[in-house]
Structure 1
Amino acid sequence: MKRTMNIFALKQVATGLKTATKRLCLSAWLALFINPLTMAATYSVSDTESLKLQLETVKAGDTVLLLDGEYLGHFEIHQPITLTGEGGAIIDAQGRGRAITVFSSGVSLKNLTIQNWGGDLYELDAGVFIHEQAERVHIESSRLQGDGFGIYAENSKHITVNNNLIAGNRALYKLDRGDGVYLKGVDAPVVHNNKIFNVRDGVYLETSTNSQVFDNRFHSAQYGIHYMYTKHDEAYGNEVDSVDGGYAIMSSEFVNLHHNQVSNAIDFGVLLNISKHSIVNNNQVSLAHNPQGSAELGNEGKGIFIYGARDNEVTHNLFSTSDIGIYMAMGGEGNKVYGNQFVNNQIQVKYVGDSLLEWSHQGKGNFWSGYMGWDSNHDGIADKPYRPNDSLDKLFWLYPEARFLMNSPVVALLRWVQSQFDIGEPTGIVDSFPLLNNVSSDRVQN
C-alpha cells in the first residue's frame, strides 16, 4: 500500500511539472511575439494640434504619419518613433527657434519638408536639433530650408543623414548662415547622398570620430566639408563647386580624403592645416582662382594648401588650371608628395622655406605640364630631376613688388648662372623622377 501511494504521488508531481512547463512555454511565446515593438501602431495626423497631442502620447516603435498640409510651430520627440510624411507635409517653425527637437534615441524622420526655423546661431536654432546622448537618429529623404543650422547634433553617435536637400538663406552673409550638417563630439556619423547649398559649411565636424561623408553635392558655401580636431574620418565621392574652400582638414588626424572633386574654389581645393597622418588621394581639383588674389597678400587660389601639416600623404591627385597648384608654408615639409598631376596652373608650386624637399617616392615623382624632359630608356620618367622653382622665384615671392623684373635680361642671366653653379645651400622643391605621361588620376593605382 505504501508503494502504491508513492507511485500515485510521483504521477501527481509529473502532471504538475508538465502543466507548469506548458505555462512556461506559453509565457515565453507571448514574451517573444507580444512586445511593445510588435504591437507598434501607425497614427495619421492632419493638423498642428493633433500632431503635438500624438507626439505626447505615442509609444516606442510607433509611426506618426503626417498627411499633406502645414504644421506650424515647434515639435519635440521623446520616444523612439518614426515621423514621416506623405510627400507634401510641411513643418514650418515660423521664423524662430528649432523646428524639431529630438530627445530620444532610435528616431527616424522621413519624407518631410522642414522650413523657416530661426537664424540665431548662438541659440543653436536648427531644422532638426538632436539632443545630447540621443543616438541612432536617421534623417532621410527630406527637404530642409532655413537660416540657422540644418541638422545639429552634439555628444552623440550613429547619426545618419542621407538623401536630403538642405538649403540655407543665400541672402545672408556666408558666415552668418548655419552649417548644413553640424556634428560635434559625434562618433560614427554617416552623411551621404545629400545636396547641400547656400550654407556656411556643408558638413562641419568637430571633435568627432569615425565619420563617413560620401556621395554628397555641395555648392555656394564657405567649405564643402570642414574637419576640426577630428580623427579617423573618411570622405569620398563628394563634389564641391563655387565655394571659398573645398575640403578643410584642420588640426585633425587620420583623415582619408579620396576620389572627391572640387571646382571654382576661391581659396583652396584642399587644405591641410596643422593636421597629420592623413591621406589625400585620387582627388580632382580645378579652377581654384581668387579674382582679388595677389602675391603680396598670399591669397591666390590654391589647388592644395599645406600649412604647418606633417606626416601626410598627397598622392595621385589632379591639380589643374588654378592660380597655384600646391602651396606649402609654415613647416609643411614632412609630407610625401608623389604620383600627382600638376596641369596648367599659373604657378605650379609655391614653397617659401629653407629646406630642400624631395617630391618623389620609390622612384616615382609627379607629372608637371610644361616640363620638357628626356626619357632615353622609355620608362615614362625623365632622365633628370625637375626643379619647379628656383631661388629667384622665392625672391619674387618674398618681394612681389619686384615681379616686373621677372622677364628682364638681367634675371634671365641670373637664372642661367644659377643653373650652372651651386650658389649657397639648395632649397625648394626637387622631383628626382618626374613623370612624363599625363595619366588620369582615376586610373592611377597606389
Structure 2
Amino acid sequence: IMSGLETGIYLENTTRGEIINNTVDSLKQGISLSASHNNRIINNTVHHQMVGITIFNSNFNYVEENTVYINEDGFQITGSDNNTVIKNLVRDNTNTGLRMVNSHNNTLIENQVKSNTDNGIYFSTSDDNIISGNSISNNFDGIDLYVSDANSFYENTLTLNDRGIFVDDGDGGSHNNFAHSNLFIGNTIHAIDRPSTNIWNNSVLGNFWDNYTGSDSNNNGIGDTPHNFNGGIDYLPIWDDSGPIINIISPANNSLVTSLAPDYSIEITDPNLNEMWYTLDGGITNITFISNGTINQTLWESIWDTLSDKDVIILNFYADDLFGYISFIEVHLIVDKPKSSGSIPGYPPLLTIGLFMLSLIFISRKVRKGTV
C-alpha cells in the first residue's frame, strides 16, 4: 500500500516489467509509465489521485483488471501506441474515466466505465483505435471524440449517459469513425455526429437504438427504415422485440427424479444473450449458469426434503437479452421416493424385523406350553 507520495509507482525506460496486486493512494499520479514498453499492469487498486494510471510515450503495454476510482482522470494515455486496456473498472472519477491524446492503434476492451463526472472515454487527436465490448454508463458523455479519425466502436453498451457518443466538429472535426453492433439504451441523447462524416453500420448490421420507431416486417432483425439522429444515419438499425428462445433437452417433462440432483441440458438462442438462470422455488433462489451442468445439490435437497412421493418439482429456466427482454420455460419433475418398509416409526427396519421374530418365538413357546 502506497500512500501520500507524489507518484506511487513509476517506471521509466523499462521493458517487460510487472506492476501487480498493489493498492496506491497518493497525491498526483498513482501508477505511471514513461518511455516504457511491453510491461504489464494487473489487478491494482488506484484511487484519490490527480491521475490514476498514466501511460506516456509508451507502447505495447498490457493493462488488465485494475480498479481505478475517485481520481480526477482515471487513465491518461498520451503519445502511446499499441497498448491493450482490458477488463478494468473505471468509476467515479471527477473528470474523465479514460483520456487518450495523440495515441494510435490501442485496444480498449471489456472495461466498465461508469459514473465519471465528465467523459467516460475521451479521444483527442487519436486515430485507428479499437473500442469493443465495454460497458459505459452514467457519464456525461459516454464517448467524446475530438479531432480523432478512423476509430472502431463495436459491441459496446452505452446506458444512462447524458450523451452516448458525442462527435465534435471543432478544429476540423472527427471523421470516418466506424460504429456498429453497439447498444444505446436509456441515454438522454444517444449520439451526436456533428461532422456527419462518420459511419454507423457495417454491411450487415447497425446499432440498437431504444428510441427507434421503425418496424421489422420480414423479421430479419434489421429495421425496415434507417434510423436518423443528430447528424448521423444508421442504415441497418438492429431490431429486437422479444426474449431468447429456450429449448429444454433434458430432463424430460414429467420424468421421475430421486434425491440426487439431475443434470440439465438446454439450448438458448439469441444473438444478444445476456444471462441465464434457473429456480426451483418460484424465484426465491436463482442460480445463474453459463453452460449445461447439474442442478445445485444443496438447493435440490432443500426442496426434496419437503415433498412426498409423486409430488411435483417445478424447474424454471430463464434467459434475458441485452435489451432487457426475458423468456422462461418450465419442466415438471415427479418425485420418486421409496415406499415405506413397514418398520415401526422411530425404529430402524432391522430392529423392527428382530422384534417381529422374537414375538413369533414367544407365541410359539406359549402355544406349545398350552398343549402339553
Q: TM-score scaled to structure 2, two decimals?
A: 0.63
Q: 1:430 aligns with which of 205, 220, 233?
A: 233
Aligned partner of 2:187 in structure 1 is 345
Aligned ranges for residues 23-42 of structure 1 at < 5 Å? Answer: none
Indicate yes or no: 2:147 matched with 1:308.
yes
Aligned-residue offset at 1:148 = 0.8
Aligned-residue offset at 1:351 = 2.6
Q: Kindly tell me: are residues 213 and 384 of structure 1, through their superposed partners in 2, closer, same or farther at Cα, counting changes over 3 Å?
A: same
1:108-148 CA-partner distances (Å, limit 9, x unpaired)? xxxxxxxxxxxxxxxxxxxxxxxxxxxxxxxxxxx111141
Contact 1:262–1:284 (CA<8 Å) still a contact in 2?
yes
1:384-416 CA-partner distances (Å, limit 9, x unpaired)? 000022xxxxxxxxxxxxxxxxxxxxxxxxxxx
Aligned partner of 2:114 in structure 1 is 263
Aligned ranges for residues 221-260 of structure 1 at < 5 Å? Answer: 221-243=71-93, 244-260=95-111
- % identical equivalent positions: 26
Q: For structure 2, which runs of at least 5 residues remain unmatched after alignment? A: 242-271, 276-320, 323-372
Aligned partner of 2:57 in structure 1 is 207
Q: Kindly tell me: are residues 192 and 356 of structure 1, through their superposed partners in 2, closer, same or farther at Cα, counting changes over 3 Å?
A: closer
Aligned counterparts of 1:437 and 1:235: Cα–Cα separation in 2? 31
Indicate yes or no: 2:205 matched with 1:364.
yes
Indicate yes or no: 2:134 matched with 1:283.
yes
The residue identity in structure 1 corresponding to 2:104 is: E
Q: Kindly tell me: are residues 356 and 161 of structure 1, through their superposed partners in 2, closer, same or farther at Cα, counting changes over 3 Å?
A: closer
Q: 2:157 aligns with which of 315, 318, 337?
A: 318
The residue identity in structure 2 corresponding to 1:247 is: L
Aligned ranges for residues 186-197 of structure 1 at < 5 Å? Answer: 186-197=36-47
Aligned counterparts of 1:378 and 1:283: Cα–Cα separation in 2? 28
1:362-382 CA-partner distances (Å, limit 9, x unpaired)? 121001112122101111110
Q: 2:216 aligns with which of 375, 383, 394?
A: 375
Q: Kindly tell me: are residues 356 and 155 of structure 1, through their superposed partners in 2, closer, same or farther at Cα, counting changes over 3 Å?
A: closer
Q: 2:66 aligns with which of 216, 224, 231?
A: 216
SS in 2 for 1:272: strand
Aligned counterparts of 2:184 and 2:199: Cα–Cα separation in 1? 16
Aligned counterparts of 1:339 and 1:441: Cα–Cα separation in 2? 15
1:21-77 CA-partner distances (Å, limit 9, x unpaired)? xxxxxxxxxxxxxxxxxxxxxxxxxxxxxxxxxxxxxxxxxxxxxxxxxxxxxxxxx
Aligned residues: 243
SS in 2 for 1:186: coil
Aligned-residue offset at 1:198 = 0.5
The residue identity in structure 1 corresponding to 2:115 is: N
Aligned partner of 2:327 in structure 1 is none
Aligned partner of 2:14 in structure 1 is 156
Aligned counterparts of 2:91 and 2:54: Cα–Cα separation in 1? 17
Runs of 4+ residues deviating >4 angstroms: 440-444
Indicate yes or no: 2:143 matched with 1:329.
no
The residue identity in structure 1 corresponding to 2:72 is: Q
The residue identity in structure 1 corresponding to 2:239 is: L
The residue identity in structure 2 corresponding to 1:267 is: D
**More helix by proportion, 1 or 2?**
1
SS in 2 for 1:187: coil
Q: Kindly tell me: are residues 441 and 179 of structure 1, through their superposed partners in 2, closer, same or farther at Cα, counting changes over 3 Å?
A: farther
CA RMSD in angstroms, aligned pairs only: 1.8
Aligned-residue offset at 1:356 = 4.9
Aligned-residue offset at 1:201 = 1.5
Contact 1:282–1:441 (CA<8 Å) still a contact in 2?
no
Q: TM-score scaled to structure 1, two decimals?
A: 0.53
Aligned-residue offset at 1:440 = 5.9
The residue identity in structure 1 corresponding to 2:80 is: T
